[in-house]
Each structure stands twice: as structure tokens, then as C-alpha cells.
Structure 1
Amino acid sequence: MPTTFSRVAEPSVSEALAKDQLGAFSISAAIASSVAPMTVCALVFSAALATTGLVSLPIAIIVVAGILMLFVVGYLAMARHIPNAGAFYAYVAHGLGRPFGVGSAWTALLTYNLFQLCCYGGFGAFAAPVVKQWLGVDLPWYVLAFAVWIIVAVLGANEVRMSEKVLVALVVAETVLVLAYTTAIMLTPGFTFDVAALSISNLTGQAAAAGTLIVIGMTSFAGIEQSAVYIEESKNPKRTIPVATYATIITVGVLYWFSSWVQVSAGGPRIIERAGAEGADLFFNLAAAQLGRAALDGGHMLLGTSLIAALLAFHNAVARYTFALGREGVLPRVFGWTTRKGAPRNASLAQTALAFGVLTLYAIAGWDPLVQLFYWGSTSGGLGVLLLITATSIAVICYFQRGSRGESLWHRLIAPVLATAILLFVSYLAIDNLGTLFGVDPGTGPARIVPVAFLMVFAGGVLWGVILRLIRRDVYRGIGRGTHSAAATSGLSSILAERTA
């Protein structure tokens, strides 16, 4: 007789995600949602200006977009040969070795969970004042966060087409409205573009502050690499994934560059002071000069929907990483099961349970959802993505050194080497300026805890990979191989055996 647990897992009859579900536009919407244009243009830009004291944000955006365009050349070349929802995990495993792949997988899970969890804090903190103003109800931030948690839990546990429709609607709406607000600021009487904000000398003149600005810029694009996470569910992946990736980097890069330049220009000589005093409201207050009070109220609402889209996008990414690890037996195999429609439900529910625990902890402890959850979480996640991208770029070089696999010299060596050199330098700047990034004294608080935590998680993953090599050779050999791993094949057989028992 099947066990009670088997009945709960009965719909899981496959170890493969649903194929041919997503086109280039849908994948672009998913990764643009994780980038969260409204959140970046309001929250991140004001924080970048206040933290660094530099008005060269538009140039920093161009620099970061260029770095990412260079990185994805080799990243997408590797994706053509290793279609795996684990992305970073699979690529590092193939390029640098299986134990390092597992270490990267654990780091990726921590990183994307940080991004996803921080959005709950941001949503609760910004939605609570709006609800009080509009409805006259004073709700704690965590009540609103738990309400969104339910929405994300339901959408995340079902087939990707359901959440795809929500993400497309939300990301199109917020992109259009970012453009509308930016245009309104530009049409304000007396507005003129500040050419000095585009001067590269302003960025290179203060190395430490410029490095911090570039790192914050990297955080603004965090999630852009997620196209490969959806490779198993995409239509014609060899075309769809590159189109979605390049189109999103270019579109988001142009949007960020234009919006940041307009904000810096409109703020004039007091832009740094205003960014520190007004925070996220800076963007909305600048637009209010043309649109009135509705710009501020509407901005808060749009910030909330932007965070919901980011929550769902990062939830999907975490679920697919967990699924990829479960399918190969690196994590408990139950996480590698999908429903008949190809949804990684068990992996999704595990992430939902984790989010519930973290929100409950913050609610009971009374911690600040904006500073201690959103800002610290997003900054830590940005550092994690930067380190993962750097490791993957090195893995690309090593992978193609064993054979060209039909890729050109540009795709397999020149672009990856250039990207790796730049990323190593930016990673150094990030670690060297962690105190500035977190707004604390160097070597204190999160500036000390976060890098140690990442190191411990990565080392724990590497150690687990070594243990698998010693005690589970079949699982170890299949690390990074997706549906071709021995664990995936045996896992499917056991599921089918349970259903016929």
C-alpha cells in the first residue's frame, strides 16, 4: 500500500519540467520582473546617489550593461550545450568540477532566497502606509506580506503558464509607468539635461565610490541571468534564450539609463541631498511637480506591484534550482518531482514554507522590514549574484578549453576572458566596500556576517559534493547532467512504482 506521503506526492509523475511553454517575450517578462524596473528606478537609484555621493549613475548603468552583455556571450554559448534549469550550478559543475558545482548551487539558493525574501519586507513596508491612507486601516507590514505570500504560493505551485500571464501583465504595466513618470519629470518647466552626469571622468575620479556605484548597478540588473533557468521550458531554446537575454539587457539598460539621467538632471545641485532625505519618494516627488499628488500615491501602489512581480519571479527561480538539485539526488529526491503538467510543486512548496518561517521570525522579533529585510537582503543578494556570475564566467573558459564544441573563438574564449577579468575586479570592489554598501562601519554587522555566510554556504556545498563522491557515486556522476543523471532516471522509476503499488 502507498504511504500517506506517497498519496500527497501522487500527482508527481515526472522528473522533467513542461516543455515548449515559454517564448522569448514570456521569458523576457519573467527576468525583467525579477529585475523590477519600478523598484530599481525608485528605491535603488535614490540609495545609489545617497550612498556614493556621485551623480554618475547613468554612466554606471551603461558600464554594468556592457559588462553583462560581455558575460552572457560565453554564458549563452555554454547554455547551448548544457540545457539545465540549474544554470549556474550545472555550468560550474561542468567547468570547474562537481563539488564546486554543488557549492555554487547552495550559494545560488541562498542568493535567490535573499532576493525573494527581501521583497516581502519591501512590499509590507511600502504597502502599509498606502492601505492606511486609502482605507483608513492601520495594518502591520507583515499582515500585507503574508497576504502576498498566499498569492505567490498559489501561483508558484502551478504550471508556469499561470504565473507567466501575471508576470507579463505586471512587468508591462510597471515599464510603461516608469516611462510615463520619467517623461512627466522631463516635461516639468525649467527641466534641462545635466551633461555632467554623463562624464566618465566623474566615475573614474573617485575609485572607491565609483566601485560602490557599479556594484549597486549590478544589483539593479540582478536576475538578468535567469533566462537559462527557463531553458527546459522554452520554445526553441537555442533561439529563444539568447533573444530573451539580449533583448532584456538592452531594454532594461536603456530604461535605467534614461530614467536615472532624467532624475539626476531634474534634481539639480541638491540631488544627492534629496536622495538621502526622500529615499524612494524622490522619483515620485519629481514627477509630482507635473502630475500632482497622484504621482506619489500611484507610485507607492506601483512599487507594490513591482515587488509582487519580483517575488513571483524569484520564487520561480528558487523552485527550479531546488528542482534541479532534487532531480539529480543532490537534495532529497522529492524536490525533483513535478506534477503531470510539469510544475515543480514540491520544490515550490519548500520555498513557500521557508518564506513563511522567515516572515514569522521577523514579525515576532519586530525587526525593520525595510532596512533589515529589504535593503540588507537585496544588497546581500546582489553580492551573491556577482560572485556567482564571476565563478560561472571562469567555468565557461575552463569548459571550452576541453573542446571548442563548434563555438567561435569570440564565444568560447575572448569574451569570457574579458568578462572574467572585469568581474574579478568588480567583485574585489564589492567586497572591499561592503561597509559602504550596507551603510555600516567596515567589518561590522552585515559587512562582516554576509561574506562569512556566503563562504560557509559555498564551502558546505563543496563538502557535500565531496561526500557524495565517497558515498553516492551514482549521484555524484550525475551532478549537472539534469534528466541524464542516474538519480533522475531512478527517481522516475520509483515514482511510477509507487503509483502502481
Structure 2
Amino acid sequence: MSASPTHTAQASVSYALARNRLGPFAIGSAIASSVAPLTVITLVVPLALAATGLLGFPIAIIAVAAILMIYAVGYLAMARHIPNAGAFYAYVAHGIGRPFGVGTSWFALATYTSFQLCCYGAFGAAIGAPLLSDWLGFDVHWFIPAVLAWALVALLGANEVKLSGYVLVFLVVAETVLVVLYSLAIMLTSGFTFSGAAMSVGDLSGPSLGVLIVLGATSFAGVEQAVVYIEESKDPKRTIPVATYVTVAVIGAAYALASWVQISAAGPKPIDRATAEGADLFFNEAAVMLGHGAVTVGKVLLGTGLVAALLAFHNAITRYTFALGREGVLPRVFGRCTIKGAPRNASLAQTALALAVLIVYAIAGWDPLVQLFYWGSTTGGLGILLLYALTSIAVIGFFARRSYGENLWRRRFAPLLATAVLLVVAYLAVDNLAALYGVTPGTGPARIVPIALLAIFAAGTTWGLILRRTRPEIYEGIGRGARSATASASGLSAIL
């Protein structure tokens, strides 16, 4: 018996994201919000200086931008042929194998979750608590503002992407403008001169290369998310590449300039100032020219920028979870959407996880700025670097079987070059984890993080093998998105 119109409509509501909603600017704003320009300049840069003792952050940004431009060639070429909100997961499944695709999906979820959770720590400890304490006249625990941000993200994340898109556009434009204006103000301050040490290519050699590239990758985390929105974009073959390349170029230029300015203005001992002033360093430097009000305005916009990053990562995580639920790799309840195309069940699950982590940190009394923000963002940077390398290998495997009309540069030479560079840098990063986290070798996150990431990938891959043996109909649909066996069984294939 043929499916009724009602049944077909319900299937499309349950298993399809909202289509034709996002243009290049909206997607660019979403991924720029993930990289959070003001957060990187005011939090990542001084904390990285303090933890590693290295000044080469600006030159590392330029190097990472160049790597990403080459990496994106093959990555976006594959996206044209594998439109899937699961991105990394789908590409590895098609290019290397389905079990590894499932392992990659778990790894990607852990990486993005690490990025999102670290932003809660920064918002609560560096912005929310100090500002509220000043305004109210008594000490406010960091957990209070963190939960307020959590509630806002929960509300916006559970609704259609167009609503949160408006918020992201406004917030990312505001913080990017502030980074540029404050950088100009610092440069116009009497006595300012650029530091040659911060742009020395000497830092991009030996063990420090891996450390700086991970910190650079942390700063760009989210630029690959354009393809996560591919099912919701307008004219995806044009929209996704434009959003990706323009965002990498603009954000890379802003990062390199602003971090160079910040380090240069810190005087002869920038590492000591970064250690002492932390997130206030950039604002204090701008206040010399603009007055103390610049500090307050900067902190407010840093707070809104962190909320934007929280929302952007939340949206990316829920779309990964949705993609896995739609295909039956995770419980199918996560693969259902509201009538307006919002993956609400996946959103609520991520919201619950975030709250649980915040409660644990608050009860345990752990440092939200170092042990949640810096360690979390650094773990995310390491994870994203490894995901880039794995996906680049998958691109080579995918196009090795068929050209799909792509030229040699896009399907072979660029992916090979990107893979070689990424594997070398990833090795150096893993080999120097203690310097990256600023801890004694073999202790704390330098010991726990690689074991945890490997265990997550291995567990996901094992689950993929179990599905091959026990649920072959689901296994065959891995990485196929809306065309998966699960979606077909729901009746969705009839309308695609």
C-alpha cells in the first residue's frame, strides 16, 4: 500500500533538517562565532603565552590559515558529493570505511563538546562573575552566570537554525569590529612598536611547532563547520566554499594582526604581563588610549562573543547527533526534527550533558578558567587537528576510486599535501603535550587526554563493527545521510 501524504509529510518533518535557510553570510557568521575572535585574542593568546612561554602565536596563525586553505580544497570537493550534516563522520565512512566513520563521529562529538564546555568556564569565571560582582556589590560564583548562558543556549538551540542565525550574525560582527578598533587604538598609543620576536619563523621549528600549531588550530576551530549546514544552505555548491574561504582569510588576518599588536604592546616581558593580567591584558592596553570604559565594553562583548561560540558549537554538535540518530547509529530519537526542521531531541541531550558537567565542576571546586577553558580548548584544538588529518586521508581514499569530475589539484595533489603537513604537525603536537598544557610530562591532561581520545575513537569504531555484524541494514546506511537505510525505511526516500 502506498504511503499517504500525511505519512510522507511526517517523515520529512521527522528526518529532514530545514532546507534553503542559510546563505554565505549566515553560515560564515556561524563558523566565525565558533572561532570567537574576541575570545581568542583576550583569552587564548594570554593563556597560551603564560602556559607555553612561546611568543610565536601570530606566525602560527598565518601558518594554520595556510594549512586550512590547502586542506579545504579536498574537503570541500568531497562535500559537493557527500552532502551530510555529519561531515567528518560521513567523509571518513566513505573514504576509509564505515567502522572508522563511526569512530570519527564519536571523536568529533567529543572534540566539539570540549570546545563548547570550555566556553562556559570562560564565560562564568572571566566575564560573568567579575561583572556581576562589580554591578551587584558582592561576590558572585562563576556557576551562576554560566548557568544563565546555558539557559539561553538551551532555548535558542532547541529552535530552528534561522533564529539562532540572527543572533550569531549580530554578535560576531560586534566582536570582530571591537577587535579591529581596539587593535588600532593600541597601535596609535604613544611608544608602540611591533615586536619582531612574535613573528619570528624560528618558533615554527622543532618541538614548539606542534605546540603552536595546536594553539592556532584551537583558534580556528569551527571553520570546517560550513559543511555541517550543507543540508540547510542555499545553493550549497557555492555557499559552502565562499563561506569557508572568506571566513578563514578574514579571521586569520584579524587574529594575526590583533595578537601581534597585543604581544608587542605588552612591553619587554609579554609573558610576565600575560601571566599577571590574563584576559584583561588586551583591554588594559586599549584603555591607555580609549579610557577605562574600554575595559567594561570589551568584557561585555567578550561575554556575548562567548555566548555566540557556545551557540555555534551547540548547533554543530546537535547536527552531528542528528545525523547519527537519523541513520540509526545512535538512538533514532535523536534523528527527529520539529516541524520547522530543528533537531530538538539532539539539542536537549547536549543541553543536559552541559549542565551535568557544570554541576560537577562547581561541586568539585575545579578552576573553570584553567581546568575547563584552557585545558578544554587545548584538547579541542588537538582533537580538531587529528580530525583534519583523518579527513584529509579519507578525501584521498574517496577520490582514488573515482574522479567525480574533480580536477587533479582538488582530488589528489591538495589532499596529499595537506595530509603530509597535518600528520607531521599532529605527531609533534602529541609528542609535546606537556608543553602544550603547561604541566609536568606524564601528568594531568598530558597523560589523560591522549588515552581518552584514543579510547573514544576505538569505542566508536568497535560499535561500527558491531553494527556490521548485528544490524547490517543500519551499517549499510552509515554516512549516507537522508538516503540511509533508516531514512528510506521511514518513507523519506520517496520525497528526496
TM-score interval for Structure 1 and Structure 2 normalised by the shorter chain: over 0.9
Q: Which runs of 5+ in 1 are unaligned?
A: 1-9, 494-501
1:30 pairs with 2:30: yes
Bigger drift between 464-473 and 256-265 goes to 256-265
Mapped contact 2:52–2:437 kept (Cα < 8 A): no
1:247 pairs with 2:251: no
Counterpart Cα distance in 2 of 1:202 and 1:350:
42
**TM superposition shift of 1:492:** 5.3
Bigger drift between 435-444 and 387-396 goes to 435-444
Match runs of 1:345-360 below 5 Å? 345-360=344-359
Q: Identity, % of aligned pairs?
A: 67
The answer for the alignment partner of 1:103 in structure 2 is 103
SS in 2 for 1:212: helix
The answer for the alignment partner of 2:288 in structure 1 is 289
Change (3 A) 1:202 1:392: closer
Aligned residue pairs, count: 483
Cα offsets for 1:24-52 (capped at 9, x unmatched): 00000000000000000111111232333
**TM superposition shift of 1:12:** 8.7
Match runs of 1:150-165 below 5 Å? 150-165=151-166
Counterpart Cα distance in 2 of 1:52 and 1:203:
14
Cα offsets for 1:52-86 (capped at 9, x unmatched): 33333221111010001010000000000000000
For 1:326, the aligned partner's letter is G
1:82 pairs with 2:82: yes
1:458 pairs with 2:418: no
Mapped contact 2:211–2:429 kept (Cα < 8 A): yes
**TM superposition shift of 1:196:** 4.5
Match runs of 1:225-236 below 5 Å? 225-236=224-235
Counterpart Cα distance in 2 of 1:414 and 1:119:
37
Q: Which runs of 5+ in 2 are unaligned?
A: 1-9
For 2:145, the aligned partner's letter is L
Match runs of 1:363-382 below 5 Å? 363-382=362-381
The answer for the alignment partner of 1:40 in structure 2 is 40
**TM superposition shift of 1:373:** 1.2
1:472 pairs with 2:488: no
For 2:301, the aligned partner's letter is L
For 2:392, the aligned partner's letter is S
Mapped contact 2:34–2:308 kept (Cα < 8 A): yes
Cα offsets for 1:128-163 (capped at 9, x unmatched): 011111232422111111111111011000000100
Mapped contact 1:327–1:491 kept (Cα < 8 A): no
Match runs of 1:96-495 below 5 Å? 96-126=96-126, 127-204=128-205, 207-491=206-490
For 2:74, the aligned partner's letter is G
Counterpart Cα distance in 2 of 1:112 and 1:413:
28
TM-score by length of 2: 0.95
Mapped contact 2:210–2:427 kept (Cα < 8 A): no
Mapped contact 1:11–1:340 kept (Cα < 8 A): no
Bigger drift between 473-482 and 264-273 goes to 264-273
The answer for the alignment partner of 1:7 in structure 2 is none
**TM superposition shift of 1:252:** 0.2
Counterpart Cα distance in 2 of 1:202 and 1:377:
24
For 2:78, the aligned partner's letter is M
Mapped contact 2:52–2:438 kept (Cα < 8 A): no
TM-score by length of 1: 0.94
Counterpart Cα distance in 1 of 2:242 and 2:77:
13
